[in-house]
Amino acid sequence: MASALPDDETLEVALGMAVRAPSVHNTQPWRWRVAADRLELYADTDRHLPCTDPVQRALVVSCGAALHHMRVALAGLGWAATVTRTPDPDRPDLLATITTTPRQPTDADIELTAAILLRQSDRRRFASIDVPHGYIRTVSSRANRFGAAVRHVPPVLRARLAGSMRCAADRHAEDPAYLRELVAWSGRHGSPDGVPARNTPPARPGDELPGRAFADPALADAAASTDAAEWLVVCTAGDDRRFQLSAGEATSELLLTATDLGLSTCIQTEPLGMPDLRRDIREAVLHDCAFPQTMVRIGWVPANSPPLPTTPRRTVGDVLDG
């Protein structure tokens, strides 16, 4: 069947879902272009965070998540997507092209599309209820289909991961340039991008695996208790842009699958922006067999926790060229 793009209304709906993808500091560092017979995804390097993400690795991973969100949205709307990744070496910011053909959506397509609207980054403590091992296997196997691998961090390795996370936090706390960048992109009120104050709880340096400290936190956290979150590392065999893009797709699949199962999720990447700490995680947690791209915390929301506020997103017009 010949390739044909959906009509403008369908494309706008799909783009509106694609902008819901997670991204480093909610920078939403992507641009979309509608050509005659394809969609094109570009990295928006004007939204690069040089202190948080020195080599633009997290930027490309974020674009991979947007690519996957677009594929899921199109599938739910009745269109199969064929993706060509990094199609033009002379245009490194062109990360992928998508061609489409009509296709009847399956129940699984519709469920995963619905998860786009439900998924949020929950930085609060999770409940003390264990995540079933079957759920961990499900989210991992689903994500593995995208050219990346998902590794569960067992309790015996968490101390090594925690050491890298605390070291990253300590370094960042003493880095004025990083702190200026953090303030510029977090603690926001009424902005269509960045991390809102209302979505970040106060830092918890005493936690077993502490998360990133953001500016002006204003989200109430659960009372201190046993947090039974599980930790997953999305990793790849290589580390060029193509692998990083695939890692973003795999991370998105993991997050949406977990959401569909009723789990809460949060991406954690602070130590991965520091080459030596990323290398430590590669060696200690992945046994020097793969490159860590994202870390994801999954678990259950404590009973009676209030719903998270919706995080802002740019409009379709803001991310669409031409």
| Structural domain total, the chain | 2
Rounded to an integer, the average pLDDT of 121-145 is: 96
Residue 139 above 60 pLDDT?
yes
CA dihedral 172, 174, 180, 186 (to 10 degrees): 40
Reply yes or no on whether the pLDDT at 297 is more than 90.
yes
67-79 pLDDT, tens digit per residue, is: 999 999 999 999 9
For residue 292 the two structure tokens come to 């860590």
Using the 3D structure, point to which of 68, 94, 119 is the last residue of a domain.
Answer: 119
pLDDT of 203 = 82
Give the model's pLDDT for residue 315: 98
Output the pLDDT for position 204.
Answer: 79
Looking at the chain, list the stretches that DSSP marks H as alpha helix, in order from N- to C-terminal side: 8-18, 57-76, 107-118, 133-143, 155-173, 176-185, 241-260, 275-284, 316-319
Please tell me whether residues 42 and 107 are part of one structural domain. yes
User: Is the same domain home to 266 and 210?
Assistant: yes
**Same-domain check for residues 292 and 144:** yes
Residue where a domain terminates, one of 119, 152, 177: 119
Place of tokens 């809460």: 264
Q: What pLDDT band is residue 224 in, cutting at 50, 70 and 90?
A: low
What are the backbone angles phi and psi of residue 236, rounded to the nearest 5°?
Answer: -135, 160
278 has pLDDT over 90: yes
Kindly state whether residues 82 and 139 are assigned to the same domain: no
10 Å CB burial of residue 36 (0-12, 13-18, 19+) is exposed
Residue 241 placed within a domain: yes
Q: What percentage of residues in the chain have a pLDDT greater than 90?
A: 88
Q: Do 47 and 163 lie in a common domain?
A: no
- Say whether pLDDT at 245 is over 80: yes
For residue 32, the enclosing domain spans 8-119
Do 214 and 189 reside in the same domain of the chain? Answer: yes
Q: Do 205 and 228 reside in the same domain of the chain? A: yes
Strands 320-321 and 30-34: parallel
Confidence of residue 211 (pLDDT cuts 50, 70, 90): confident
Q: Which of 148-157, 174-183, 220-229, 248-257 has the lowest mean pLDDT?
A: 220-229
Task: Look at residue 321 and tell me if it is in a domain.
Answer: no
Q: Which residues does 141 contact at the CB level (< 8 Å), separation at least 6?
A: none
Average pLDDT, integer, range 17-23: 99
Residue 112: pLDDT over 70:
yes
Residues 98 and 139 in one domain: no
- Examine the domain organization and report whether 173 and 285 are in the same domain: yes
Q: What are all long-range contacts of 278-286, with beta carbons under 8 Å and residues at least 24 apart? A: 280/160, 280/163, 280/164, 281/160, 281/161, 281/164, 281/233, 282/235, 284/157, 284/160, 284/161, 284/164, 285/151, 285/153, 285/157, 285/160, 285/161, 285/233, 286/151, 286/233, 286/235
Residues 87 and 177 reside in one and the same domain: no
- Matching residue, tokens 């990133």: 212
Tell which residue, 124, 114, 118, has the closest CA to residue 299: 124
Instruction: Put the strands of the sheet holding 291-299 in their side by side order.
Output: 149-152, 230-236, 291-299, 264-268
Is residue 315 in some structural domain? no
Please report whether residue 320 resides in a domain: no
Which of 119, 152, 180 is the last residue in one of the domains? 119
Percent of the chain with pLDDT over 70: 98
Residue 306 counted as domain residue: no
Residue with tokens 């979150």: 229
Please indicate, yes or no, if residue 2 is contained in any of the structural domains.
no
Q: Does the pLDDT at position 1 exceed 60?
A: no
Residue 144 domain-assigned (yes or no): yes
CB atoms within 10 A of CB 204: 17
Do 140 and 104 lie in a common domain? no
157 and 291 together in one domain: yes
Rounded Cα distance, 245 and 250, in Å: 9
Whether residue 307 lies inside any domain: the answer is no
Residue range 161-201, pLDDT digits in tens: 999 999 999 999 999 999 999 999 999 888 999 999 999 99
- Residue 223, pLDDT > 70, answer no
The CATH number covering residue 231 comes to: 3.40.109.10
Rounded to an integer, what distance in angstroms lies between the CA atom of residue 93 and that of residue 96? Answer: 9
